[in-house]
Amino acid sequence: MLEYPPLSLYLHIPWCVRKCPYCDFNSHQVRDDLPEDEYVAALCDDLSFEASNRNSDDHRQLRSIFIGGGTPSLFSAQSIATVLNKAEQLFGFEESIEITLEANPGTAEANRFKDYYSCGVNRLSLGIQSFQESKLQVLGRIHNAQEARQAIEMCRQAGFDNFNLDLMHSLPDQSVADALEDIEQALGFEPTHLSWYQLTIEPNTEFHSRPPTLPAESLYLEIQEEGIQRLSANGFQRYEVSAYCQTEFASRHNLNYWGYGDYLGVGAGAHGKLSNPAQNAIIRSRKKKQPDHYIAAGINRDAERTEVDKSERPFEFLLNALRLRDGFDIKSFEKRTGVTFSSIGKQVEYLSAQDLLAVNGNNVTTTDRGYRVLNSLLEEFLETD
């Protein structure tokens, strides 16, 4: 039945220099002085609150930490160190913990890379998006192509031998050659990981109210097919829908998300998920969204904390796990949902007969055909016995 999965921590820092027109994250443009000290104190208080709520039999250390935003690299290394030290004091770190910090290529932030490395961050995720000036302008990025290249060089010089580059494809007026050129430039810096994902128009964004013209589906499919081939030829395996890595460099943090692991969500608007085997319960939480409210809220900064209904757990698990090319283990499904595999047995059997899923021993994966229609495949699991 339900068991404790690995535990991660997500820390959200919600400010950025300018809100990008495609961004639907909880991010806020810096308009006055950045309340860095106050926010760090709130994060530390929130970590203490989460630690005080742990079950007495929960002795898990943190497997990974992801510091996202916004633009976390607006904060000093001293502030990041303060929060990391508090997390280690309260929860402990696994020996091989992965600590990732998102950063933008702006010069001011890049100058801090060496200090971040010194304070315990061992993986950077750089929001490059494109190496082409016209595309960066359309995306509303505040850096230019030369600053992007300089930031990657500074990342390597700071000591990071494990780093991710974010790249977007299927941009307005982007050709296949344009998309492949971005990949080639990224590969030239020898990253260990690439997040290569399609630009999508999300609600509550500037692009949603003033949508740009995106490539037709046929062009998008050609870009994706050519790009995947180019990445594969250079030793990057596609281990998730939009994630590509060199061998042994898959993101430990994201693997825990997609494997339906547990994670603490700390920071304005951060989401969390925690298992309680003794009560056969899975609890999802969300923190107060507005930074001012989060800072002022006192020790309990929860906006919401609800139990996941047992009937919803299989779909939640599959929504994440089937994004992985390696799929999932049947025993892991049962341990992390507290639900028997037989609850989805009919759907798995049907989809296997349609050559959309493959069952090999205790492992379930999508076929190549199933991976191409993943959203439609998942709809089959919306109702379980």
Percent above pLDDT 70 for the chain: 99
In this predicted structure, the answer to whether residue 156 has a pLDDT above a threshold of 60 is yes
pLDDT at position 365: 97
Q: Any residues with CB less than 8 A from the CB of 350 and at least 6 apart, and which?
A: 380
In this predicted structure, the answer to whether residue 220 has a pLDDT above a threshold of 80 is yes
DSSP letter at 385 equals -
Give 383's pLDDT tier (boundaries 50, 70, 90): low
Whole-number mean pLDDT of the chain? 94
Give mean pLDDT, residues 365-379.
95
pLDDT at position 225: 95
pLDDT in tens, 322-360: 999 999 999 999 999 999 999 999 999 999 999 999 999
Give 88's pLDDT tier (boundaries 50, 70, 90): very high
Domains and CATH numbers, the chain: 7-255 (3.20.20.70), 311-385 (1.10.10.920)
Does the pTM surpass 0.75? The reply is yes
Q: How many degrees, rounded to 5, is the angle at CA 216 between CA 214 and CA 218?
A: 145
Question: What is the token pair recorded at 131?
Answer: 């190496």
Give mean pLDDT, residues 161-169.
97
Give 26's pLDDT tier (boundaries 50, 70, 90): confident
308: phi then psi, degrees, rounded to nearest 5: -80, 120
In this predicted structure, the answer to whether residue 385 has a pLDDT above a threshold of 70 is no
pLDDT at position 206: 83
Q: Which residues of 76-113 are buried (b: 16+ CB within 10 A; e: fewer)?
A: bbebbbbbbebbeebbebeeebbbbbbbbbbeebbebb
The residue with tokens 């639907």 is 24
347 and 322 Cβ atoms separated by less than 8 Å: no
Give 108's pLDDT tier (boundaries 50, 70, 90): low
25 and 51 Cβ atoms separated by less than 8 Å: no
